[in-house]
Amino acid sequence: MSLTITSLTMQDASAALKQGLALIAEGRTELDLGAVTELDSAAVATLLEWQRAAQARGVHLQYKNMPASLKSLAQLYGVDALLNA
């Protein structure tokens, strides 16, 4: 199973969160965000929650192909270092 989300907004953040948490529970340490084309501030919250879940498992989570708009939001909120953005 891989991350299949294309939209990470308030409307679909819950489903995306569950999908990512399932992958982390399977032992994934890298999530590919390359398919994400639509996002809002919920994306940052979702990625932070994924990071917390990975830390609870004692692993470091990496994001691959993070969209530039998501990097910008992370910088705006001052959490880019937490997300390796």
Domains and CATH numbers, the chain: 7-83 (3.30.750.24)
Q: What one-character DSSP code corresponds to residue 27?
A: T
Q: pLDDT tens across 33-83, in order? A: 999 999 999 999 999 999 999 999 999 999 999 999 999 999 999 999 999
Residue type, 18: K
The Cα–Cα gap between 32 and 74 comes to 17
Contact 84, 58 (CB under 8 A): no
**pLDDT number for residue 1:** 61
Q: pLDDT tens across 5-20, in order? A: 999 999 999 999 999 9
**pLDDT number for residue 38:** 96
- Closest among 32, 39, 48 to 12, alpha carbons compared: 39
Binned at pLDDT 50, 70 and 90, residue 84 comes out as: confident
